[in-house]
Structure 1
């Protein structure tokens, strides 16, 4: 119940901005504000713990003690400890609680919020050339006209949002509850963002399915590594934690790349809110289909998961034919459809005994030319392990049906499991949703790796070769229903019965019509004509 209340409280803050901004805009402000308050609340509790070795009774009490400490001779020591333990120290006058008090006293200015975020970004030592919070609030544009056309209106908008968040003490929620609430908001924003949702969100059910597949058999790996070259908000990566044994979760190494700077920062916040240690976060803001990354050890991972943009344009420059990611496959993915370029990039970074899952449109299964050549190489090498057809309408960003392609490097038999899960969904208004029973059914078929009537088929390499390396699912899983047999005797009997009914009705109508009288000659002639028709019928 506490989680539901937290979700609702955070969504109420979003409602402040919904009337003036699109979901794609206000998500950056609200998520940034939540993250700032989370860091501020956590620091205030840390101050009381350092000063008096106890928890404060409230954020207001913690704020008062912090302000007193700022005037004491021990301030520099306290600040140094905060910076060492938390990588930053927000000055007492710039905590969320202090700014909320300013709002109530009508002395708040957006410059104070700007300074608070700057304090956070500049704190701490760099690891691998980057500070934990560096540039994290870069997309939180306090001067944006979207917040208001004048400074006063922007001040009022941000004040209203902060009022909605002020009564939430984020320290009262565990990392899972707060992280899940953050994911809940990201999902809500995706629902309102239309096609832009694909840039940062993979539906929870799809995330669960693909990460269950990728982590299978690696649940007890002491230092499991997972890579998402199109990580969006990081939800696919974070879902993997649910399927790794509890005593191994804190050792997961997360690797990810994201081309959008805004979404890249969203993923970083998501990781911090889920208490992922900074030394286990290996992220880059960059173009996956440009120069290869990662290039420093480790470069191969236990699991690779991807939900790339579908049929994206890319350069397909001839030089890529000598790139180790693509050179083995003879052809490059076409300029107008980078689907196989994303697939081959991820596959290149997979360990020999790892598993990769990628979500792509169905066209990659059967399109010819260069894509057909690449697909043939993958099948001949035994790299495609399974193809799972997903229902249409489960993504906010597109209504087209998609599939999960599962790849392995150590799959010797070269057979491919096909699962047609296109009917495994629950419809709700205009959106389709996959529930736990749908995912469990798919996983059961995936684990068994056997034929299931109208649902799954394990195709041999010879069978695939006979189909000219076409992986279109209906070629292997027949879901058609036979037409029911027609009982000709029953049809004849029914026709005779209908004919008898028609004749009886016509006779009754004729008898009734003979009792009609007419007032003029024209009507009498029309009635006579009608009686003639009825009698002949």
Structure 2
């Protein structure tokens, strides 16, 4: 088949394949099976397409064909392609057959795929049901992906389309998964807004310490391409991420592969307690740091590590005990164990290049005004001139929570010695009323993003929407960054013309008297007492 397939067509076909599981298996679980099959099907279609081309070119020269195929982006050993599995779709042990094929596929591509399929069990009775039901569902899944609409040969569909289908499916799963979606998904328009605000450039190292399924990193790569002057610049960047959930990390890696971002370094582990992106014993530094970390994560660090009322060790002259954090991320103070928001923010700021790094974080509004240790950390960051902008977003943007969130932009070029050291204000933008109501949740439109980014870049007052605020004013407000303190969105009520209202009342009373007189006349005609 050489007919091109549209993005909408392939999205619809892939989503229809989910009918096998929908209503029977939780969306947070069946996403792994669908996305893995999409990945294997795409690799198999590319493999078959290239094999056919070499066969046509070299005829029966099997050795030459074999050498060419070994140089493919992913090597498919015999028996591991989607089509090998489809031929065995009626086997009584089809779940086990798929598991073995994925293990062989991973082993043959160890450098790229090590651990990607580790947590995906197609023979799971717990997730997929008893043997008879499991076999039926897997047979249906293989048949759904074998339909012509999901032929993903390069002659029909390019890599970008497949990558966007992958993200489309993740967004659909997030909608079905509800609160569990926060583990792996950031809505597309929020991701686009964040990367437009931090504006990564060619040559940048870009990092997400809580990368989920890597949608923010994908959008960051697109922003680099938008800023590029030539094709070489479009590929001149590096992506780094860390994800605590090994299954979600696998989704991230497949997502990046399907977008052609093969060289991204996505590590597995707890960023706050065991950061993986290091240079020697110190944190690696990045030009751009972005994240949508879990909101107000509890018990992020062991309380037993902390000493003293203000969480400092008296034996170190008030300094942070290095046993708590050997990477010196919490020198401004240790965030409370009950909320990790400032733990992530502190990690992100200290992971950015001194004097130039830019940071964008999606966070609950509590980070703007909560007191205690968080208030002290926030005050230090304001006094260090690190905070560049605070943007309030509408409620109901996430499938995982209905609360309104904010974006906070930090810029280390503002700190002492940086190119923007003279910057003395913080840009506040209240975009909480800018949204399009959707069926399940509110949506940001491109026009909303354009308005926010334009206000941020111009840094001029916009009535009831945006205002650059001097740091001295913020200090007078006790270093509270709550947006309504600085952007007055109150709209005065229209003035009432009392005289006009009085005339209207008199006229209504006249009409009422006339109506009563007519009614009395009708009653008298009917011989009724009035």
State TM-score, norm by structure 2.
Answer: 0.87
Is 2:335 aligned against 1:333? yes
1:225/1:303 contact within 8 Å kept: yes
Which residue number in structure 2 is paired with residue 18 of structure 1?
Answer: 22
Q: How many residues align?
A: 489
Q: CA deviation at 1:513?
A: 3.9
Is this contact kept in 1: 2:43–2:74, CA < 8 A?
Answer: no
RMSD: 2.4
Distance 1:354 1:184 in 2: 31
Match of 1:410, SS? helix
Q: Contact 1:147/1:153 (CA < 8 Å) preserved in 2?
A: no
User: Helix, strand or coil: the match of 1:403?
Assistant: strand
Offset at residue 414 of structure 1 (A): 3.2
User: Do the aligned residues in 2 keep the contact of 1:40 with 1:95 (CA within 8 Å)?
Assistant: yes
Structure 1 pair 149/482, CA: closer, same or farther in 2 (3 Å)? Answer: closer
1:61-210 matched pairs, under 5 angstroms: 74=63, 82-83=69-70, 85-86=72-73, 88-91=75-78, 93-103=79-89, 109-124=94-109, 131-146=111-126, 148-166=128-146, 167=148, 168-172=150-154, 173-210=157-194
State how 1:442-481 maps to structure 2 within 5 Å.
442-481=452-491
Which shifted more, 349-358 or 497-506? Answer: 497-506
The structural deviation recorded for 1:400 is 0.3
State the match for 1:410 in structure 2: 413
1:427-438 equivalent positions in 2, closer than 5 A:
427-438=437-448
Aligned to 1:29: 33
- 1:59 is matched with none
Aligned counterparts of 1:85 and 1:101: Cα–Cα separation in 2: 23
Whether the 8 Å CA contact 1:250–1:276 is kept in 2: the answer is no
CA distance in 2, matches of 1:90, 1:82: 10
2-side partners of 1:35 and 1:85: how far apart? Answer: 15
Q: Whole-Å Cα distance in 2 between the matches of residues 53 and 481 of structure 1?
A: 72
Is the 1:325–1:345 Cα contact (8 Å) retained in structure 2? no
Alpha-carbon displacement from aligned partner over 1:240-293 (angstroms, at most 9, x marks no partner): 12211243232321110111111110001001111113xx32111111111333
User: Which residue number in structure 2 is paired with residue 371 of structure 1?
Assistant: 374
How do 1:223-234 and structure 2 match up within 5 A? 223-234=203-214
Q: Which residue of structure 2 aligns with residue 236 of structure 1? A: 216
Out of 196, 200, 211, the position equivalent to 1:212 is 196
**What CA distance in whole angstroms lies between the structure 2 residues aligned with 1:210 and 1:430?**
22
CA–CA distance in 2 between the matches of 1:406 and 1:393? 21
Show the counterpart of 1:345: 347
Q: 1:96 to 1:108 in 2, by over 3 A?
A: farther
Cα 1:410–1:149 shift into 2, 3 Å: closer
In the TM superposition, what whole-angstrom CA distance separates every residue of 1:24-79 from its partner, at most 9, and x where no partner exists?
A: 1110000011111222222233434555547xxxxxxxxxx9xx99xx7x4xx866
| Cα pair distance change 1:94/1:328, threshold 3 Å | closer
Could you tell me how far apart the structure 2 residues matched to 1:176 and 1:461 are? 44
CA apart distance, 1:499? 2.4
- Counterpart secondary structure, 1:265: helix
Q: Structure 1: how far apart are the matches of 2:407 and 2:328? A: 21
> Which of the two has greater helix per residue?
1
Task: Confirm whether residue 361 of structure 1 aligns to residue 364 of structure 2.
Answer: yes
Which deviates more, 434-443 or 166-175?
166-175
> Using a 3 Å threshold, how does the CA distance of structure 1 residues 94 and 123 change in structure 2: closer, same or farther?
closer
Gaps of 5+ in 2: 312-319, 415-420
Contact 2:330 2:346 (8 Å CA) reproduced: no
Greater radius of gyration (CA): 1
1:460-494 deviation per Cα after TM superposition (whole angstroms, max 9, x unaligned):
01111111111111111111111222212112212
Q: Closer, same or farther in 2 for the Cα pair 1:85/1:498, shift >3 Å?
A: closer
Within a 5 Å distance, the mapping from 1:249-328 to structure 2 comes to: 249-277=234-262, 280-296=263-279, 299-313=284-298, 314-315=300-301, 317-318=305-306, 321-322=320-321, 323=325, 324-328=327-331
Alpha-carbon contact 1:147-1:157 (below 8 Å) kept: no
Q: CA deviation at 1:182?
A: 0.7
Deviations 1:3-42 (A, max 9, x none): 1111111111111211311211110000011111222222
CA distance in 2, matches of 1:433, 1:207: 12
How much does 1:113 deviate?
A: 1.8
Q: For the Cα contact (< 8 Å) 1:385–1:414, is it kept in 2?
A: no
Instruction: Supply the distance in 2 between the matched residues of 1:90 and 1:152 (Cα, whole angstroms).
Output: 29
> Equivalents in 2 of 1:124, 1:514: separation in Å?
100
Contact 1:384 1:414 survives alignment (8 Å) = no
The CA distance in 1 between the partners of 2:185 and 2:524, in whole Å, is 76
For 2:296 and 2:93, the matched residues in 1 are separated by 48
Q: How many Å separate the matches in 2 of 1:233 and 1:427?
A: 26
SS in 2 for 1:429: coil
5+ residue gaps in structure 1?
A: 55-64, 126-130, 519-526, 532-537
Q: Could you tell me whether the CA contact under 8 Å between 2:89 and 2:138 is conserved in 1?
A: no
Q: How much does 1:453 deviate?
A: 0.9
Supply the distance in 2 between the matched residues of 1:19 and 1:174 (Cα, whole angstroms).
32
With normalisation by structure 1, the TM-score equals 0.85
Q: 1:483 to 1:271 in 2, by over 3 A?
A: same
Q: Deviations over 1:430-476 (max 9, x none)?
A: 31101111101111101101111111100001111111111111111
